[in-house]
Chains A and B, each alone.
Chain A
Amino acid sequence: MARLEILEFPDPRLRTKAQPVAVVDAAIQQLVDDMLETMYDADGIGLAATQVNVHKRVVVMDLSSAREEPRVLINPEIELLGATVESQEGCLSVPEFYEPVTRHERIRLEALDRDGQPYELEAEGLLAVCIQHECDHLLGKLFVDYLSGLKRQRIRKKLEKRHRQSA
């Protein structure tokens, strides 16, 4: 397994639209394993392949407190259900910023698991928010896109400054 580099906003590669996975083969499973390791290492609860510069429709998540319940979403398709709710979101590609984002409170998910087996799931609460957040990544979208232009610019400036300093 290997830890992968996480791209950070405003890296233009985060805007790439991911392609569907044709076959869940050993290479995809390796990607899944590496992404899980990367996510756990970064204390994240979800990571999309886009964030590690692989532009395939692959997402890993783990919402459990014990960090022992990994979820794998390959070629996820979601249907938005219910009313909208606002909650705080943060992102491994926008480190240390948390802002309120409005999402649907419920979703229905269809995806493949690590073995390429299809499954369905209805989710609400944090799980539903996280799935919507990760599926946005696969479309080249970030949670900061939901914020006002002013707020987005401020985050962008601060991150660019941090990148310059660490470069």
Chain B
Amino acid sequence: MNPPDAAPTGEAAGVAARVRAARVIADVLAGRSTLPEALARHGGADADDGFVRELCFGTARHAFRLDHEVRRHLRQAPRERDLDVHALMLLGGYQLAHMDVPDHAAVHATVAAARSLKKPWASGLVNAVLRKLARADLRADDPELPDDVRLNHPHWWLERLRAHWPDDWQALVAAGNARPPMTLRSHRKRSLALAALAEAGIEAHGGSVTESAIYLARPLPVGSLPGFASGDLSVQDEGAQLAAPLLGASPGERILDACAAPGGKALHIAQMEPAAKVLALDVDPKRCGRIRENVTRAQVTMEVKAGDGRQPESWWDGVPFDRILVDAPCSATGILRRQPDVRLLRNAEDLQVLARLQQDLLEALWPLLRNGGRLLYCTCSVLAEENDDVIGAFLAARGDAEGIGIAADWGSPTLWGRQLLPTVDAHDGFYFALLERRRKSR
């Protein structure tokens, strides 16, 4: 097929990319879908079109500030059905402030994109607003700005960070606004993997929290990494690489990863102890496909099942597990830099819903653990509502659960577990709590 616009490369393609990015951002702004879902729907995720991705992720990362700057020049708030035009102005602002695109090219192509939205009024508005934005400094720190705009985090989020982490909240904000590094887990000895990468001309260094993490100096397509196809290297944040060793695994043990997709931690467990019997469960059958891809690639043995952790009767064979990993759905406040759209999609009320879900998962899965068995609870949240509060309530309700202290030189101990806070250059934020099942004492 020929490109629909007769001039296929260069300018027209750049216009098409901006239209696509605007549709993706508009879906996220409307709360219709997450960024990866919207990218897939508009034909951008699978293609991994670098420019569209950069526009979308970058605009989401700076969404509050960009929205504020654009709205200064609008007479009325954008209507729901015109969110695509609003999104174009946001990503126009992103190009002006944060990308290497020359200003005149950014304005020109974004206005052309507005023209192709078939809203006759839009191109004039986009042109006028972007020309004003081009004259302003959209990156300058201005203490007059409201906090959510200045820090690109919603108010409810900032409030909680300040309350929970009075000494660290600014570092947490900086980490959330940063571009994430591309992190790998090396299955074999890390020095060998680093040597293989160096030989391939890929700049990388080892992480300091684990023995397995490797940071690439620049993100690269996974296909170009020596050792990815064979499963020697996997993409996984360094904080996430702590889970499998904390859970532990011995030959012959039955191990459940109850919220496994996309399968990074389950794969780590299976690679760490190939003689363990791992069951990777996830509620989303589609995402189970991602787990199977990982299993096939790394050639490990593991059972993958679609099922809801809260309803074991629908998938459990009745034989107890020796170890269970509950990597619970959470606010993702510890991995904002990897999911920048979370700042737009999540709200304070979600925290209660998530805490309920986390509780329900623990309560439903605990009876599946044998006496003396261990359960590792983890989240990528930095908020106590989803971490210590959940574990504290669970321990109080169960007489046969006991918290096991995690001795480590990373992160900091909390009442019931251990918290790793996200950093700009290294790992994401994670919470871990290790529980052991004892005979009922009361």
Contact = CB atoms under 8 A, between A and B. Distances in A.
Interface stretch (A26-34, A123-131, A154-162): A123-131
A89 B8 CA distance: 12
B65 to A, nearest CB: 26
A127 to B, nearest CB: 3
Contacts of B23: 125
Most buried by B among A46, A63, A71, A126: A63
Contacts, number: 91
Interface residues on B, range: 20 to 34
B286 to A, nearest CB: 9
Contact of B43 (A88, A123, A143): A123
A46 B2 CA distance: 7
A92 B8 CA distance: 12
B4 A63 contact: no
B46 A71 contact: yes
B201 interface: no
Contacts of A143: 1
B293 to A, nearest CB: 8
B76 interface: no
B180 interface: no
Nearest to B229: A115
Contacts of B6: 90, 96, 98
A67 B41 CA distance: 20
A120 interface: yes
Contacts of A43: 2-3, 8-9
A18 interface: no
A69 interface: yes
Contact of B2 (A66, A87, A98, A128): A98
Contacts of B9: 43, 67
A133 B47 contact: no
Contact of A45 (B1, B48, B51): B1
Nearest to B10: A65
B14 interface: yes
Interface residues of A, number: 38
A139 B43 CA distance: 24
A91 B42 CA distance: 22
B3 A122 contact: no
A140 interface: no
Contacts of A166: none
A90 B17 contact: no
B8 A45 contact: yes
Given A43-B9, A65-B13, A125-B23, A88 B47 contact: no
A98 B1 CA distance: 11
26 contacts: A43-B9, A44-B2, A45-B3, A46-B1, A61-B1, A63-B47, A64-B17, A65-B13, A65-B14, A65-B16, A65-B49, A66-B51, A69-B48, A88-B5, A90-B2, A91-B1, A92-B2, A121-B40, A121-B46, A126-B4, A126-B16, A126-B20, A127-B42, A129-B1, A130-B1, A133-B1
Given A65-B17, A65-B51, A122-B40, 12 more contacts: A43-B2, A64-B17, A69-B50, A71-B46, A88-B4, A88-B5, A96-B6, A98-B2, A121-B46, A124-B43, A127-B47, A143-B1
Interface of A: 43-47, 61-69, 71, 87-92, 95-96, 98, 120-130, 133-134, 143
